Amino acid sequence: MKKFINFDFVRIIISILFLGLAYLFKENGTLFLILLVLSYIVIAYETLFTALKNIFKGEVFDENFLMSLATICAFFIGEYAEAVMVMLLYEIGEYLSDLAVNKSKASITSLMDLRSDYINLKIDGQVIKKKTNEAKKGDIFVVSPGEKVALDGKVVKGESYVDTSSLNGESKPLKVGKGSDVISGWVNKDGLIEVQATSDFKDSTANKIIELIENSNERKTSTEKFITKFARIYTPIVVGLAILLVVIPWLLGLDINTWIYRALVFLVTSCPCALVISVPLGFFCGIGRASKEGILIKGSEEIERLTHIKAIVFDKTGTITKGNFEVIKTCTDVSKEEILRLAAYAESFSNHPIALSVKRAYDKVIDKSKIEDFKEEGGYGVFAKIEGNEVLVGNEKLLQKHKIKYEKDGDVGTLVYVVLNGRCIGHIVIGDDIKEEAYSLTKNLSNLGINNVIMLSGDNIDIVSDVSGKVKIKTYFANLLPNDKVEKLNKIKEDNFTAFVGDGINDAPVIKFSDVGIAMGGIGSDAAIEASDVVLMNDDLNKLPLSIKIARMTKKVVRENIIFALSFKFLMLILAAFGFTSIFLAVFADVGVTLISILNSLLIMKRRI
């Protein structure tokens, strides 16, 4: 109720009271006029002031100027009551439009209301409630059943089921326990858990996503820019035509008051409110619908770009495959334990998924004091001195770069070679499963008219060929370094508007260079959120075609609003010029078209896709 009753609502009520009093004292001409003027000042002063302010800024021709000019001229020709009624109807229309827009934006933002204002910090064994922005990385906090996880972190005690739907659209609860990563915005369902924060408030996933949603309207689409330019050209033309509607009949000796009235109707009819309000609202609703489905789209410009995609390039690891690497085999001149030890020690400072799988397989405490001169070579592997021995761990290209002799075999999987003091002592075979939804990926994209699907990978040709064949991706490239991927992408972009889909960690450069960068599994990843245009929040490839469908639906609704508003406007302008409509009908038409366009935009949130 408080949101409904605001200052604009009070102005409308006061203006209506003055108007009612005027008609009660209609017999008293002077009092009647004074009350009408008071009613007009109460309801019109904001529009008049805005029009005047914009004139000094050089922004003359907008809806405020049109309504001010029309109603002042109505006073000039003695149509006092109509002047008040027109401005009153216009302000009621604006009030209802603002109410609808604000309500829709509030409901959309509430879908992503992930931030928790307070956090239960555990300090010296006591649980103390504090503001979330006072917490810092490394703090321990308690999450009770029904509470939101306030910061990104790792569970250090307890277990529970958490609701992750606010971030990824996934309705099935996720079980977490000691060692599990949890994300700010998730809701704890039943058990009590203690979490160690891995971020502060500013860098938390929830805060970053909310900021992106709130700032999404700052990135204007070509459609929105067109509407802005159109309004700047359209309004002066309309004003010029309204002047001609008065001047030409006057020169011909026709009744001047009749044609001034028609010109006023013409001006009121011409207000471009429906376009100015409904077009940005339509894109905002598209962003909200995507968020509801677990898809983060950074802005309306990105929605429009999604509709232009003709080719999609995929990374393999963590995108087509699960990225859950496991050591499945070792081939070595030394013991299995020794090759795993050397590899784990060499990879101890790396957070690459393959390095993590090697460390899991070794499963022993790594004494980092034994490691010297660690160096990571992007796209190749790592170098380290371990107890005085020089150890290289990486792919085939690493061995070729350092001119190390090695033997190839027929193992299918990611091969990690281990070199000790210049001699290759064997390799570790690491496997990765394909995601279930990847098998239907090319079919789902083909149904959308996207048949140019390509895979780029740093893995060897045997693995890439095997995975591509299973998921029916016909075009693929293997053994690529990050800069090689960028070069391949630029060639593909020459003939196609291209999206790149990657895991958002190692693929940040190529995501950035694509026409549309899409990050898989980007929750909690700075690289994903910063480099990409779209983040598919739960690693689900099915969300990719869904994001394109939402973008296309949004663009269709925006186009419908533009065509409907312009068609109706031009029809009403013709009727106004020939005197077939009144000033009241002009206002009703303007308000009606605006509200219909707003409702059509809001349906984006509900329509089946």
DSSP 8-state class, residue 147? P
Smallest CA-to-CA distance from 314 within 528, 469, 522, 507 is with: 507
DSSP 8-state class, residue 339? H
CA gap 30, 22 in Å, rounded: 10
Going by C-beta distance under 8 Å and a sequence separation of 6 or more, which residues neighbour residue 221?
Answer: 283, 300, 301, 303, 304
Smallest CA-to-CA distance from 387 within 433, 421, 427 is with: 421
CA gap 184, 164 in Å, rounded: 10
List the beta bridge partners of residue 327.
430
181 is a catalytic site residue: no
CA gap 65, 82 in Å, rounded: 17
Contact 429, 330 (CB under 8 A): yes
Helix (H) or strand (E) holding 163: strand 160-163
Active-site residue, selected from the candidate residues 62, 139, 200, 315 = 315
C-alpha angle 514-520-523 in degrees, rounded to nearest 5: 120
List the beta bridge partners of residue 175.
161
Smallest CA-to-CA distance from 135 within 194, 182, 200, 204 is with: 200
List the beta bridge partners of residue 498.
311
Question: Coil, helix or strand for 387?
Answer: coil
Burial of 63 (0-12, 13-18, 19+ CB in 10 A): buried
CB atoms within 10 A of CB 552: 17
C-alpha angle 85-86-90 in degrees, rounded to nearest 5: 115
User: Using only C-alpha atoms, what is the Rg of the chain?
Assistant: 32
Question: Coil, helix or strand for 391?
Answer: strand
Active site residues: 315
